[in-house]
């Protein structure tokens, strides 16, 4: 539905309310055609979302409230939802319910009925209910509730047309003052149960058995192995699948860069300016996009598929105890998984954690988890370690697994430390809904994820890489006393570097690489070669020679890897942390925490290695 | 005459939700949790007379998942202790 600058005859405002996991956001998407992120995961929608659509000369504005079980004000979402409904009581309020568990959603409908006179009920997920032998008599339900009831399945757009018509009719209706009878929660639930008894018929009602999927995903002996295997599978698909596209993108950008240089040449710009634009700004951005985009475009769709399927709440369920002993809660494990894709996304994901204290702990320790941007470099470093070793085989994979395990362990450890020092407090109360498994909408998820991610990465490349490229070019090409600033800086940092088992160039690269992890390795190469710009390509073999010529030993590789795992979050993540926490103090803490850990560990490992030499 | 009131003359065993094992069914009696959690549980449907079934345990033993009013909810043992039940 295209938004055009028409003057509409009528305007109707619709509010969507309902319990979590009833498919409210799917209804929202079906109505507005918007791509709101849906997820079979309680608490996905934590803010209200607005969208519009037009039909027959009428403009409809839809507001999607966060999922709440009732308006009893026992959580921030409930308070917000109640406030919104009360302030907008003249709007048409649609309460979305799950046909398979009507009693769950109906209490909210009964409560809203008392506040908002213009309401309707949409019984969603009827297709699923039918499969389980559950049928809802919409006429009976409408009679009992006293409001119009539409049944359907938003996923397949069934019932949506009818819902829009009902909303349009309701908007025309006059509002009569209905006297509301005060009810205690128990009376409300009793009335709700009575209505359900009359309106819902269940064929072959059997005792709830644990579905096979849950027995595998949360079983005592199968849960963790399955989790590890699934994660390893996602990694493998991501890294394998991203190789070819990354190389393709690099060669594409190489050609594009030459074209750009030629173009600027025809404009008779000075050589320095051309170099600044093409080799500085453009090439740096190209590096980030080529390295970052393909893995992200694969990792997040896979992750979202698991989420839509309903597996992720089970992960929080399995890991809650571990997280709790470190001062967090099960949902932190999920933010950590998202952090494997991108730390900035992981930090944003911490919104699903209700308790502010636990949310901060999760956000500040997320950067201990290596993101997609770091994996190619880690793999390159590991393969350098084994370059001269004929018996490569299984060792690289083992070391990578060890590196990830170490990161996860240190993330938990730092959470523990934070919970005992800066963020002291009691563990929060925790009630997590485990939604039924649903078949993910493969096509929609993959397309949506890829476009979301592409836009995010490209945006980030432009915002972050462009200035970074400018600074790097200037540092490399501006000379003081016949030697570039870069060389000055790297000599200055050499003593510090040697202490950590590295050298000045590596330390400088980490500092200059704050905007993006992807450019750290090429930066090291550039500094060694006294180049004026990042190298054109980079793979393990070509990089290895440069490193060994510069005096690298195995110790250097190991210490570089350690610093790669534990250093300050990239600037995008830091900005995200600042935005989410609203505090500069916490952002600085987020930067210091992994950095100090990395520095100490490097120095320790270096000291140990020196002993053995 | 001073009546000495003993705290509980007849020892009534309060059974709480956390003792349910997977497969056990019970009926919710009352909530003894702190205010905020109590509200949260009430809005999830934990009211006197509601049937509740313990469905499964987390692989590490805590939390456990309970089926109440058609919803599968995971509760920690410490929070489940705040729900008194009857068999």
To which H or E segment does residue A609 belong? Answer: helix A584-612
To which H or E segment does residue A505 belong? Answer: helix A504-512
And the tokens for A33?
Answer: 């055609």
Q: Which ranges of A421-503 does DSSP label H, i.e. alpha helix?
A: 442-460, 466-477, 485-492, 494-499
CA–CA distance from A224 to each of A317, A339, A421 (Å)?
A: 12, 19, 30
Which among A302, A321, A313 is positioned nearest to A436, based on CA atoms?
Answer: A313
Q: What is the mean pLDDT of residues A5-20?
A: 80
Interface of A with B in 106-145 (CB under 8 A): 107
Q: Measured between CB atoms, which of A214, A427, A430 is closest to B56? A: A214
- Integer Cα distance of A237 and A240 in angstroms: 5
A41 — phi, psi (to 5°)? -160, 110
For A97-116, the pLDDT digits (tens) are: 988 888 878 888 988 888 88
Q: Measured between CB atoms, which of A78, A104, A224 is closest to B45? A: A104
Residues of A in contact with B41 (CB under 8 A): 431
- Integer Cα distance of A394 and A396 in angstroms: 6
And the tokens for B6?
Answer: 């003993």
Task: Determine whether the interchain pair B50/A189 forms a contact, defined as Cβ–Cβ distance below 8 Å.
Answer: yes
Alpha-carbon gap: A430 to the closest alpha carbon of chain B (Å): 6
For residue B30, give the chain A residue with the closest CA.
A186
Q: Where are the beta strands (DSSP E) in chain B?
A: 25-31, 51-57, 64-68, 71-75, 83-86
The Cβ of residue B20 has, within 10 Å, a number of other Cβ atoms equal to 22
Residues of A in contact with B72 (CB under 8 A): 433-436
Task: Determine whether the interchain pair B58/A317 forms a contact, defined as Cβ–Cβ distance below 8 Å.
Answer: yes
Alpha-carbon gap: B14 to the closest alpha carbon of chain A (Å): 21
- Mark A471-494 as b/e (b = at least 16 C-beta within 10 Å): ebbebbbeeeeeebebbbbbeebb
Q: Is A70 on the interface with B (CB under 8 A)?
A: yes
For residue A103, give the chain B residue with the closest CA.
B69
* Burial of A416 per CB tally in 10 Å (0-12, 13-18, 19+): middle
For A462-515, the pLDDT digits (tens) are: 888 888 888 888 888 888 887 888 888 888 999 989 888 898 889 999 999 998
Inter-residue contact A288 to A465 (CB < 8 Å)? yes
- pLDDT in the model for residue B8: 46
Residues of A in contact with B44 (CB under 8 A): 69, 431
Alpha-carbon gap: B15 to the closest alpha carbon of chain A (Å): 20
Alpha-carbon gap: A3 to the closest alpha carbon of chain B (Å): 39
A402 — phi, psi (to 5°)? -60, -45
Of residues A278 and A205, which shows the higher confidence score? Answer: A278
For A71-83, the pLDDT digits (tens) are: 877 677 788 888 8
For A16-68, the pLDDT digits (tens) are: 998 888 888 888 888 887 655 555 454 454 566 788 888 888 888 888 888 88
Question: Residues for chain A: how many in total?
Answer: 613
Q: What is the mean pLDDT of residues A351-367?
A: 89
For A293-327, the pLDDT digits (tens) are: 888 888 888 888 888 888 988 999 999 999 988 88
Task: Determine whether the interchain pair B39/A74 forms a contact, defined as Cβ–Cβ distance below 8 Å.
Answer: yes
Of residues B53 and A79, which shows the higher confidence score? Answer: B53
- Integer Cα distance of A148 and A167 in angstroms: 9
Inter-residue contact A27 to A14 (CB < 8 Å)? no
Q: What is the mean pLDDT of residues A575-590?
A: 91
Inter-residue contact B23 to B54 (CB < 8 Å)? yes
Q: What is the mean pLDDT of residues B59-87?
A: 89
- Integer Cα distance of A94 and A17 in angstroms: 6
Q: Which of A43, A67, A314, A429 to mutate to test the interface with B (most CBs of B within 10 A)?
A: A429
Per-residue pLDDT for A2 more than 60? no
Q: Measured between CB atoms, which of A74, A322, A324 is closest to B40? A: A74
Give me the long-range contacts of A169-176 (CB less than 8 A, separation at least 24). Answer: A170/A92, A170/A118, A170/A119, A170/A120, A171/A10, A171/A12, A171/A92, A171/A118, A173/A118, A175/A90, A175/A117, A175/A118, A176/A117
Mean pLDDT of chain A: 84
- Integer Cα distance of A501 and A560 in angstroms: 8
Count the helices and strands in chain B (H runs, E runs).
Answer: 2, 5
Q: Where are the beta strands (DSSP E) in A392-438?
A: 431-433
Task: Determine whether the interchain pair A324/B70 forms a contact, defined as Cβ–Cβ distance below 8 Å.
Answer: no
And the tokens for A218?
Answer: 């949360």
Inter-residue contact A397 to A307 (CB < 8 Å)? no
Q: What is the mean pLDDT of residues A413-421?
A: 92
- Integer Cα distance of B54 and A349 in angstroms: 30
- pLDDT in the model for residue A600: 94
Residues of chain B with pLDDT > 90, as a percent, come to 18
Model pTM score: 0.80
- pLDDT in the model for residue A83: 86
Alpha-carbon gap: B44 to the closest alpha carbon of chain A (Å): 6
For A196-245, the pLDDT digits (tens) are: 888 888 776 555 556 788 888 888 888 888 988 888 888 888 888 888 89
- Integer Cα distance of A155 and A126 in angstroms: 10
pLDDT band at residue B71, thresholds of 50, 70 and 90?
confident
To which H or E segment does residue A49 belong? Answer: strand A49-55
Count the helices and strands in chain A (H runs, E runs).
Answer: 27, 11
Residues 6+ apart with CB under 8 A from A349: A334, A335, A338, A339
Q: Is A69 on the interface with B (CB under 8 A)?
A: yes
Q: Which ranges of chain B does DSSP label H, i.e. alpha helix?
A: 35-43, 77-80
To which H or E segment does residue A229 belong? Answer: helix A223-266
Task: Determine whether the interchain pair A185/B40 forms a contact, defined as Cβ–Cβ distance below 8 Å.
Answer: no
- pLDDT in the model for residue A35: 55
Q: What is the mean pLDDT of residues A280-286?
A: 88
- pLDDT in the model for residue A4: 52
For A285-295, the pLDDT digits (tens) are: 888 888 888 88
And the tokens for A302?
Answer: 């896979």
Task: Determine whether the interchain pair B47/A429 forms a contact, defined as Cβ–Cβ distance below 8 Å.
Answer: no
Q: Is B36 on the interface with A (CB under 8 A)?
A: yes
Q: Is A101 on the interface with B (CB under 8 A)?
A: yes
Residues of B in contact with A78 (CB under 8 A): 43
Q: What is the mean pLDDT of residues A389-404?
A: 73
Q: What is the largest CA-CA distance in chain B?
A: 57
- Integer Cα distance of A516 and A533 in angstroms: 16
- Integer Cα distance of B84 and B82 in angstroms: 6
Which residues are bridge partners to A55 per DSSP?
A: A58
Q: Measured between CB atoms, which of B43, B60, B74 is closest to A434? A: B74
Task: Determine whether the interchain pair B42/A72 forms a contact, defined as Cβ–Cβ distance below 8 Å.
Answer: yes
Which among A140, A101, A96 is positioned nearest to A119, based on CA atoms?
Answer: A96
- pLDDT in the model for residue A535: 80
Among the residue ranges A139-148, A375-384, A456-465, A596-605, the one predicted with the least confidence is: A456-465
- pLDDT in the model for residue A611: 86
Per-residue pLDDT for A391 more than 80? no
Inter-residue contact A564 to A377 (CB < 8 Å)? yes
- pLDDT in the model for residue A176: 65
- Integer Cα distance of A178 and A85 in angstroms: 16
- pLDDT in the model for residue B1: 47
pLDDT band at residue A151, thresholds of 50, 70 and 90?
very high
Residues of B in contact with A431 (CB under 8 A): 37, 40-41, 44, 73-75, 79
Alpha-carbon gap: A322 to the closest alpha carbon of chain B (Å): 9
pLDDT band at residue A177, thresholds of 50, 70 and 90?
low
Q: Measured between CB atoms, which of A101, A318, A430 is closest to B79? A: A430
Q: Is A58 on the interface with B (CB under 8 A)?
A: no
Q: Is B51 on the interface with A (CB under 8 A)?
A: no
Q: Measured between CB atoms, which of B33, B40, B65 is closest to A434? A: B65
Per-residue pLDDT for B61 more than 80? yes
């Amino acid at each position: 539905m295209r938004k055009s600058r028409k003057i509409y005859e009528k305007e109707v405002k619709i509010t969507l309310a309902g319990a979590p996991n009833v498919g409210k956001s799917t209804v929202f998407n079906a109505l507005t055609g918007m791509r709101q992120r849906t997820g079979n995961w309680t608490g996905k929608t934590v803010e209200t979302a607005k969208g519009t659509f037009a039909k027959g000369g009428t403009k409809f504005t839809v507001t999607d409230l966060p999922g709440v079980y009732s308006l009893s004000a026992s959580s921030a979402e409930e308070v917000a939802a109640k406030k919104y409904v009360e302030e907008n009581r003249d709007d048409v309020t649609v309460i979305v319910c799950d046909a398979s568990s009507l009693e769950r959603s109906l209490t909210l409908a009964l409560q809203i009925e008392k506040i908002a006179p213009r309401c309707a009920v949409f019984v969603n997920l009827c297709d699923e209910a039918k499969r389980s032998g559950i049928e809802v008599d919409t006429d009976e339900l409408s009679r009992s509730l006293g409001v119009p009831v539409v049944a359907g399945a938003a996923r397949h757009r069934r019932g949506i047309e009818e819902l829009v018509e009902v909303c349009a009719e309701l908007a025309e209706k006059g509002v009569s003052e209905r006297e509301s009878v005060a009810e205690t929660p128990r009376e409300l639930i009793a009335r709700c149960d009575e209505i359900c008894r009359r309106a819902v018929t269940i064929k072959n009602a059997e005792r709830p058995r644990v579905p096979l999927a849950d027995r595998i995903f949360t079983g005592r002996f199968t849960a963790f192995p399955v989790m590890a295997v699934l994660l390893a599978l996602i990694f493998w698909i991501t890294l394998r699948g991203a190789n070819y596209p990354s190389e393709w993108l690099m060669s594409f950008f190489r050609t594009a860069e030459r074209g750009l240089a030629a173009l600027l040449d025809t404009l008779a710009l000075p050589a320095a300016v051309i170099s600044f634009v093409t080799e500085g700004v453009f090439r740096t951005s190209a590096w980030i996009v080529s390295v970052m985009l393909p893995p992200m475009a694969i990792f997040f769709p896979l992750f979202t598929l698991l989420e839509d399927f309903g597996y992720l709440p089970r992960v929080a369920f399995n890991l809650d105890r571990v997280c709790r002993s470190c001062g967090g809660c099960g949902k932190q494990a999920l933010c950590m998984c998202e952090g494997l894709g991108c730390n900035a996304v992981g930090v944003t994901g911490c919104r699903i954690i209700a308790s502010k204290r636990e949310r901060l702990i999760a956000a500040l320790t997320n950067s201990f988890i290596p993101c997609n941007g770091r994996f190619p470099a880690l793999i390159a470093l590991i393969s350098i370690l084994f370059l001269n070793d004929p018996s490569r085989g299984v060792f690289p994979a083992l070391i990578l697994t060890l590196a990830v395990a170490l990161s996860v362990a240190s993330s938990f450890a730092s959470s523990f430390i934070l919970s005992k020092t800066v963020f002291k407090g009691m563990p929060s109360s925790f009630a997590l809904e485990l939604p039924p498994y649903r078949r993910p909408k493969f096509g929609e998820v993959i397309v949506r994820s890829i476009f979301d991610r592409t836009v995010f990465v490209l945006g980030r490349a432009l915002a972050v890489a462009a200035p970074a490229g400018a600074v790097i070019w200037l540092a490399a090409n501006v000379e003081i006393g016949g030697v570039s600033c870069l060389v000055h800086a790297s000599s200055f940092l050499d003593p510090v570097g040697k202490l950590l088992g590295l050298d000045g160039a590596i330390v400088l690269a980490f500092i200059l690489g704050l905007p993006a992890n992807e450019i750290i390795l090429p930066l090291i190469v550039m500094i060694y070669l006294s180049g004026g710009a990042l190298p054109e390509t980079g793979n393990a073999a070509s990089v290895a020679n440069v490193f060994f010529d510069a005096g690298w030993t195995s110790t250097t590789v190991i210490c570089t890897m350690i610093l790669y795992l534990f250093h300050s979050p990239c600037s995008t993540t830091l900005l995200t942390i600042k935005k989410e926490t609203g505090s500069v103090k916490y952002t600085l803490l987020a930067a210091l925490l992994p950095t100090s850990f990395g520095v100490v560990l490097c120095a320790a490992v270096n000291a140990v290695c020196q002993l053995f030499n | 005459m001073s009546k000495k009131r003993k705290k509980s003359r007849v020892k009534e065993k309060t059974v709480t939700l956390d003792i349910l094992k997977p497969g056990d069914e019970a009926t919710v009696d009352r909530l003894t949790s702190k205010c905020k959690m109590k509200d949260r549980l009430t809005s999830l449907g934990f009211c006197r007379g509601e049937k509740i079934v313990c469905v499964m345990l987390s692989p590490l033993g805590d939390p456990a998942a309970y089926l109440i009013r058609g919803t599968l909810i995971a509760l920690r043992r410490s929070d489940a202790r705040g729900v008194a039940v009857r068999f």
